[in-house]
Chains A and B, each alone.
Chain A
């Protein structure tokens, strides 16, 4: 048995669906569209499948959700309809019921939120409603899990005869319907002339139970239904008759009569306690969307969402995932701070020692000699190195004198390898005829099975103990150590560490280890690392959505955003996008209108995300000498790209027409249940995780492969130096594309490619590829002029985002064409903007010479301005029409 669950948005449909099916759910999409399709087996009876149809107000042909719902009811012919209605909003909810009753399918009506109705002191006469609708009616409270069993019983014992006369129209309309049914059934008299040769009764294929539905739709001049008929009968004369009689179009006549009938039954069905009493929801709304307070409150809410999901909890969670789970490891509980301090001290000391040793060796001293320290102090050795200062944010020169060196040695000493063990092992090996100085010493020693004994003083007992040192232990002692995190708390090693140990234990080949660690785990880790942050964000969004505030955001901001073809709700994805584009794109799920949603998905990643900040910071510091305007201008560029895209695209065929009519219910505020919020959070995150496991994984492995393999001396191998990699070859091949943008060298092109894994990689790759005698920072400084740097910056900010964000875009577009259109548009716009910057600014500074590309840039600029200011030829046409093009 299949049951279609139908109801208005915000009537508790999802809660009921969860209560009915529990965990037995399957979530997917309706074919070809981004509308989610959920189905599940009834908890109480696994033979009953419940299909959750999109939340809708009507069965009109104008919105995607409504068309999906009604197509399902017409074509899939479910055994019953479970119509959930909001008891606190009976009139509008019953409007959909009147339409469902015409489908010729048994309907069970569940009146939800009965607890709220009773609390208000209102009454609903269920028996009267049952009688008026000729359908079984059940009182429920999905939130409190009341009445669910009754629904199940009702569905099982459903009467198969249906009162299709449930909602009678006026005499004239009923007559018209009867006439149309006759014509539908095949009186040839009214068929179009070229169909006359068809036999009587073969004219149409409408099943008996749907005749009334089809007839009413034909009367309403519903084009979709008309087209679906093999041989639609002529009904113009009837339509004309009704329209003349009522002085209105038939669609409005029908709608009017439905509401008139509902109004007429209301006195018998419902009695209200006090119409004018202010509900809690009203009181909240008075403050929240208050003329003066609305915007400040909105700003505070958005700040909190951003602060929690991006700045604090989210960053903490993401760092934990990236540096802990997918990094070296993490502390369970406390210990982290103490360990971090010790590590910092250790690292600093190690650097001091290295710098001092280096300086001493240059002066001809030997750090290994016994009286090195005295000699060095006499010679006045000073080691220097550059260190990044967290507080000032600048590189500072650190000087190490002999005294500091000595202190540093003391800090490092406890972690150093056991000299006795090393000496004992080497002595034993020399006895066996091996040379400890040779490069293959450890391997040779291992093969020879060298084992040495030495005595060591046990720290606790103070007694001498004999220790055995083999080749592996020798190697470990030789490398010395670093502070061991396990001594500072409960240390959980990261996945890469565990896997690396595992691979080493089974003697995996080097290439396999590299593939698994650097390709797969690093790639997926880079993507899955976002999950904790996404969970935090989705939790907040789910709360905002289900408590009713999200609709108010749209209400408050609609005026600003609709000018740019966006919804007021687009603000949330864009704001989140400043932290990370992945959850930003996913947050667009809250936008109902398909065009608004697509536009938002396409533009969200223009805003600089956290990972793009290092690129901005690098160029601002290295090339622009740290001027204040570089970072703000990057954000301004992102916002301008979003707004211009909105203006330009909404004038195209694809986003044609006015933004969809903004006729939106503002649902009553209410406290959502923990379960519902968590479920919504998890569903969104899960759909992303699935993507990360497939497409994003493959893409990451591919880029890892091309950047770490290459041909050296005619041999294909893993390369140490990225300069030899396939990526470098690829960079050389594609760098001509970027020539007109001012940065046509292969290094910059390759950096842009690696940015596809994660935008931070752009800086990392520049660091590797520009490495040279002067240091990469200085080389970047020398290679990029301000104009070229800004062109490069603009391109990387606007072009296709990282694979994770692309995965999110693909998920949200749910359509190959739209996905590639979005990526293509982003790359195209990035190229054009970078071209303008280099050609125009470069011409002014004399870096670019006037040439073909200057002309192309000028032409593109004129075209852009034209697109921006041209008249919208689709304006005034129905905004929702783009929906019909697809369904």
Chain B
């Protein structure tokens, strides 16, 4: 299964599932990363982590470690 972590900058993907649980998962979903939403990966921070994505019309940054919880297609 491909996760958001592996998506290259410049690509747009759709969220299919969220793994994990608890606070981090809730936080990711609260910020709008829910099933079916389209995510555009804008860039990776200069030091390689975190990543910046565009969802629901705004910029969100999240760590690769957390991006791994977002399955995409």
Which residues of A are at the interface with B, using a C-beta cutoff of 8 A? 57-58, 60, 62-63, 88-92, 95, 249, 251-252, 255-256, 259-260, 263, 285, 289-292, 294-295, 551, 555-560, 562, 661-668, 878-881
**B34 proximal to A (CB < 8 A):** yes
- Pick the most buried of B26, B30, B45, B60: most chain A CB atoms within 10 A of its CB: B30
> Chain B contacts of A664 at CB under 8 A?
60-62
* B66 CB → nearest A CB, Å: 6
Q: A260 to B37, alpha carbons, bound, how many Å? A: 9
**18 examples of A-B residue contacts, CB within 8 angstroms:** A57-B31, A62-B26, A89-B57, A92-B58, A95-B30, A95-B32, A289-B52, A556-B45, A556-B47, A558-B50, A559-B50, A661-B62, A661-B63, A662-B63, A663-B24, A663-B27, A663-B61, A664-B62
Q: State the interface size on chain B (CB cutoff 8 A).
A: 35
**B56 proximal to A (CB < 8 A):** yes
Report yes or no: B31 in contact with A663, Cβ–Cβ below 8 A. Answer: yes
Please name the residue on chain A nearest to B44 by beta carbon: A291
- Pick the most buried of A90, A292, A666: most chain B CB atoms within 10 A of its CB: A666
* B57 CB → nearest A CB, Å: 6
* B4 CB → nearest A CB, Å: 12
> Chain B contacts of A557 at CB under 8 A?
47
Q: Find B18's partner among A62, A252, A879, A880 (CB 8 Å cutoff).
A: A252
> Chain A contacts of B62 at CB under 8 A?
661-664
**B22 proximal to A (CB < 8 A):** yes
Q: A62 to B25, alpha carbons, bound, how many Å? A: 11
Report yes or no: A559 in contact with B56, Cβ–Cβ below 8 A. Answer: no
Report yes or no: A289 in contact with B21, Cβ–Cβ below 8 A. Answer: no
Apart from A92-B58, A259-B29, 16 more pairs, CB < 8 Å: A58-B26, A62-B22, A62-B23, A62-B26, A91-B56, A91-B57, A256-B34, A263-B37, A291-B44, A292-B46, A555-B50, A559-B48, A661-B62, A663-B60, A663-B66, A666-B61
* B36 CB → nearest A CB, Å: 8
> Chain B contacts of A556 at CB under 8 A?
45-47
Report yes or no: B60 in contact with A665, Cβ–Cβ below 8 A. Answer: yes
> Chain B contacts of A89 at CB under 8 A?
56-58
* B55 CB → nearest A CB, Å: 8
Q: A67 to B9, alpha carbons, bound, how many Å? A: 35
> Chain A contacts of B36 at CB under 8 A?
260
Q: Main secondary structure on chain B at its contact with chain A? A: mixed
**B59 proximal to A (CB < 8 A):** yes
Please name the residue on chain A nearest to B37 by beta carbon: A259
Q: A252-B18, A255-B34, A295-B46 are in contact. Are A88 and B23 (CB under 8 A)?
A: no
**B49 proximal to A (CB < 8 A):** yes
Q: A350 to B27, alpha carbons, bound, how many Å? A: 72
- Pick the most buried of B29, B35, B48: most chain A CB atoms within 10 A of its CB: B29
Q: A89 to B23, alpha carbons, bound, how many Å? A: 23
> Chain A contacts of B56 at CB under 8 A?
89, 91-92
* A655 CB → nearest B CB, Å: 16
Report yes or no: A285 in contact with B30, Cβ–Cβ below 8 A. Answer: no
Q: A510 to B57, alpha carbons, bound, how many Å? A: 70
> Chain A contacts of B60 at CB under 8 A?
663-666
